[in-house]
Amino acid sequence: MNLLELDAIEKRFGGVVAVQALSFAVATGEIVGIMGVNGAGKTTVFSLVAGNQRPSAGAIHFDGRRIDGLRPDAINRRGIARTFQIVRPFSGMSVVENVAIGAMYGAGRERSPSAATARARAILDEVGLADRAGDRAGALTLAGRKRLEIARALATAPRLLMLDEVLAGLTPVEVDEALAMLLALKRRHGLTLLVIEHVMRALMRLCERIIVLHHGEKIAEGAPDAVAADRRVIDAYLGEPAP
Amino acid sequence: MTRRRLAAATAFLAVVALAALAPFLLGPYLVGVALDLLMWIALAESWILLSGMTGYISLGHAVFFGTGGYVMVLAWGVLPFWLVVPLGGLVAGLLALAIGYPCLRVRGPYFVILTFGVAEFAKFVVVAIEAGLGKAGRLMFGAPSLDELYFVMLALAAAAFVIADCVRRSRFGAGLRAIREDEDAAETIGVPTTRFKILAYTLSAIIPGMVGTVMVLRSTYFEPLQVFDPLISFTIVTMAIIGGSDGAPGPLMGAVFLVSLSELLWANLPEVYMILLGALLVGFVLGAPDGIHGWIRARLARRGA
C-alpha cells in the first residue's frame, strides 16, 4: 500500500521551473532515497510534500487523502515530518524544549507539557543527545544540531519522516553511527523514510530504491545498483561525454 | 519545583491582599497613583501575550484601551457599570480578531507599522463620529468612587498577571515562543501558527478593553485624542522592554520601575524624566535586551551553575 503518492507535480518560481512532471510513490515501511546534483530540486520536493510550498500543478496524496494545498501544520498532524537541510533549531530554547514542542504538536499532540518533556527526553536518548538536554540549542555543534532536527521531527510522531542531508559534513565513522541510528529509529517508530543525501555510499547502503532528479525532472528510479550504472545518471553527475 | 510554585502563588496572593488594603491606608492621591500603576501592569501583562511570546510587536495597543473607553461612554447611563466593563473587553477582543485576521499574515516590521496605522485610523474614526454627533469631549457624571475603580483595576491587573503566567507555562505558550524563534520551523512541526497568533492577539486585547472602560470613568471626561493616544502604546512597549517580556514578572517590574520613576521626577523635572526614559530605553535594548527580569534570571542561572 502506498503511503505517499506524487502525481505529475510541478513547481514554477516565476519563469523558473524547479520541479517538472514529477510522479513517484513511496510504500509504507520503505526507505527511498532522492539524489541529484545541487539545484536538481530535491529540497523543493520536500517543501512541496511538507506544505512549506504549494505545487503549481499536480496532486499529492498521503495515506489515500489529498494533502497538497494544506498548511504545513495540518500536514504535519497527518503524520509527515521533515528536517531542514539548513538546520533551524529554536536557538534561544534548550535542547529538550525544542523536542518537547515537537511532542506537544504534530501527530502525537501530547497535551501536558510534563508528558511532552518526558517523551522528549526519551527521544533525545535515542539520538544520543541526552547529555545535552539542558543546553541552549544554539550552543550545539552542527552535527548536534542535525541530530536535534531529527529528534524534533521524530517527536511529532510521524509515519513518514523526510531527512534532508542529515549526514552531510559527518566523518565516515560518524556516518556509520548515524546510519545505524536511523535504522534503529525506523524499526522502533515504524517509520517510512524519504532521504535526500549527497553522501552516495551512505544512500546506497540505506535505501531500497533511489530516485534521481536532474533539472527538476526524474531521470532514473530503481535499485541502488541499477541507478548507479544508469547512463543518464552518470551524465548528469559528470557532464555529457564530449562529442 | 512544585514547592517553588506554591511559594510563588502564596507570595502573589499576599501582594494582592496587601494591595487591596491600599484604599484603607492611603490618601486619595496615592490611591490614584496606585490605580495608575495597576492600569499599566494590566496593559503591559496583556501586551506580552502576543508581542512578548511571539515577537510580533504591537505598536497600537492604545486602540483597545480607547475602544473600551468609548464603549463605556456610549453605554454610560444605559447599562450598569459592572456589565459595561466585560462588554468593553468583548468589543476590544472582537476588534482584535477583525484586525488580526488580515494583519497577522504579514511579518516583521510590516506588522508593527500596520498595528500603529490601524490604531491611528481607529482614533480618527472615533473623532469623526464624535464630530458628526456634535460632541467635543464628554463629561461622565455619576462615576463610581475612586476606591471602587481601584478594586476593579486590582482585579484586572491580577487577572492579567495570572493569564500571562499561565500562558507562558502552557502548551499554547510553548507554541507561541516557537513562532518567535522560527515561524517556518514551528509550523512544520505542527504548531498552528496563524490560529495561535490571532488567538494571542485577541487575548491580549480583552483586558486592555476592560481597563479602558474603568479609566474613562476615572478621568470623568472623554476625549478621543486622549484615550487613543499613541503614547499609551509606546509606554506599554517601553515597560515591557525595560522589565522583560518573556514571562509575567517582567511587565510587572517594568511598570513598577517606570511609574516610580515618573512619580519621583515628573512633578519637578519633567524634561529630565523624558531624557532619562530615552536613555534607559537605549541602555536596556543594547545592554539587557531581556529586561530587568531576564537579567535577574540570567544572574540566578549563573549562580546555580
Please tell me whether residues A132 and A232 are part of one structural domain.
Answer: no
Alpha-carbon distance A238 to B291, whole Å?
Answer: 56
Residue B12: CB atoms within 10 A of its CB come to: 15
Q: What is the DSSP letter of B79?
A: B
Q: Which of A142, A157, A172 is the last residue of a domain?
A: A157
Mean pLDDT, chain A cut into blocks of 10 residues (243 residues total):
93 91 95 91 95 95 95 96 94 95 92 92 95 93 92 96 91 89 95 89 89 92 89 82 68
Residue B263: pLDDT over 80? yes
Please tell me whether residues A10 and A48 are part of one structural domain.
Answer: yes
pLDDT band at B65 (very low <50, low <70, confident <90, very high): very high
Amino acid at B80: P
Interchain contact, A156 vs B186, CB within 8 Å: no
Please tell me whether residues A241 and A179 are part of one structural domain.
Answer: yes
Nearest by Cα to B261 from B287, B282, B284, B280 = B280
Alpha-carbon distance B150 to B92, whole Å?
Answer: 21
Q: Domain for residue A85, yes or no?
A: no
CB A127 within 8 A of CB A178: no
Please tell me whether residues A106 and A58 are part of one structural domain.
Answer: no
What's residue B203's pLDDT?
97
What's residue B266's pLDDT?
74
Please tell me whether residues A181 and A75 are part of one structural domain.
Answer: yes
Interchain contact, A90 vs B181, CB within 8 Å: yes
Please tell me whether residues A172 and A59 are part of one structural domain.
Answer: yes
What's residue B305's pLDDT?
53
Of B178, B189, B192, the CB nearest to A81: B189
CA distance A219 to chain B (A): 29
What's residue A23's pLDDT?
95
CA distance A240 to chain B (A): 39
What is the side-by-side strand order in the sheet with A209-214? Answer: A80-82, A160-164, A192-196, A31-35, A209-214, A217-222
Neighbouring residues of A114: CB distance < 8 A, sequence distance ≥ 6? none
Q: Can you read off the three cell numbers belonging to residue A87?
A: 538546520
C-alpha Rg value of chain B to the nearest Å:
19
Interchain contact, A82 vs B192, CB within 8 Å: no
Q: Can you read off the three cell numbers belonging to residue A153?
A: 521531527
C-alpha Rg value of chain A to the nearest Å:
18
Instruction: List, in sequence order, every residue forming a beta bridge with A33; answer none if it has no partner.
Output: A195, A210
Interchain contact, A90 vs B178, CB within 8 Å: yes
Instruction: Kindly list the domain boundaries of chain B, sorted by start residue.
Output: 12-229
The residue of chain A with its CA nearest to that of B182 is: A90
ipTM value > 0.85: yes
For residue A159, report the phi and psi dihedrals to the nearest 5 degrees: -100, -35
Please tell me whether residues A208 and A189 are part of one structural domain.
Answer: yes
Task: For residue range B168-177, list pLDDT tens digits in order.
Answer: 999 999 999 9
Please tell me whether residues A152 and A169 are part of one structural domain.
Answer: no
- What b/e readout covers B258-267, taking b as 16+ CB neighbours within 10 angstroms? bbeebeebee
Task: For residue range B187-206, list pLDDT tens digits in order.
Answer: 999 999 999 999 999 999 99
Instruction: Identify the residue among A71, A73, A146 best suited for mutation to test binding to B, counting B beta carbons within 10 A and taking the highest.
Output: A73
What's residue B287's pLDDT?
87
What's residue B1's pLDDT?
59
Q: Which of A127, A142, A157 is the last residue of a domain?
A: A157
Q: Domain for residue A9, yes or no?
A: yes
Q: Domain for residue A202, yes or no?
A: yes
CA distance B163 to chain A (A): 17
Cα separations in angstroms, B79 against B75, B92, B215, B266: 6, 17, 17, 37
Alpha-carbon distance B275 to B267, whole Å?
Answer: 15
Q: Which of A133, A157, A181 is the last residue of a domain?
A: A157
Burial class (CB in 10 A: 0-12, 13-18, 19+), A110: buried
The residue of chain B with its CA nearest to that of A157 is: B189
Q: Domain for residue A169, yes or no?
A: yes
Instruction: Identify the residue among B104, B188, B245 best suited for mutation to test binding to A, counting A beta carbons within 10 A and taking the highest.
Output: B188
Taken in order B44, B68, B147, B235, the sign of the CA dihedral is positive
Task: For residue range A85-100, list pLDDT tens digits in order.
Answer: 999 999 999 999 999 9
Of B171, B174, B192, the CB nearest to A73: B192
Alpha-carbon distance B299 to B279, whole Å?
Answer: 23
pLDDT band at B304 (very low <50, low <70, confident <90, very high): low
Q: Domain for residue A10, yes or no?
A: yes
Mark which residues 162-181 of B lie under 8 Å from A by CB.
169-171, 174-175, 177-178, 180-181
CA distance A72 to chain B (A): 5
What's residue B274's pLDDT?
80
Whether B189 and chain A come into contact, CB under 8 Å, resolves to: yes
pLDDT band at B220 (very low <50, low <70, confident <90, very high): confident
Residues present in chain A in total: 243
What's residue A100's pLDDT?
96
Alpha-carbon distance A200 to A212, whole Å?
Answer: 12
Domain residues for A114? 90-157
Cα separations in angstroms, A112 against A106, A107, A156, B115, B171: 14, 15, 14, 33, 7
Whether B187 and chain A come into contact, CB under 8 Å, resolves to: yes
Domain with residue A6: its CATH number is 3.40.50.300
For residue A222, report the phi and psi dihedrals to the nearest 5 degrees: 160, -165
Nearest by Cα to B174 from A206, A185, A41, A102 = A102
Please tell me whether residues A236 and A123 are part of one structural domain.
Answer: no
- The percentage of chain B sitting over the pLDDT mark of 90, rounded to a whole number, equals 75
Alpha-carbon distance B36 to B41, whole Å?
Answer: 9
Interchain contact, B174 vs A52, CB within 8 Å: no
CA distance B4 to chain A (A): 16
Amino acid at A165: E
- What sections of A156-197 are H helices per DSSP? 172-189
CA distance A91 to chain B (A): 7
The residue of chain A with its CA nearest to that of B167 is: A113
- What sections of chain B are H helices per DSSP? 2-20, 22-25, 28-54, 62-75, 81-103, 109-132, 146-169, 171-181, 183-188, 193-219, 224-227, 230-243, 249-265, 270-287, 291-304
CA distance B58 to chain A (A): 22
How many folded domains does chain A comprise? 2
Task: For residue range B92-103, list pLDDT tens digits in order.
Answer: 999 999 999 988
Amino acid at B17: A
Please tell me whether residues A237 and A186 are part of one structural domain.
Answer: yes
Of A93, A97, A153, the CB nearest to B189: A153
Of A50, A104, A156, the CB nearest to B174: A104
Q: What is the DSSP letter of B21?
A: T
Residue B11: pLDDT over 90? yes
Please tell me whether residues A41 and A14 are part of one structural domain.
Answer: yes
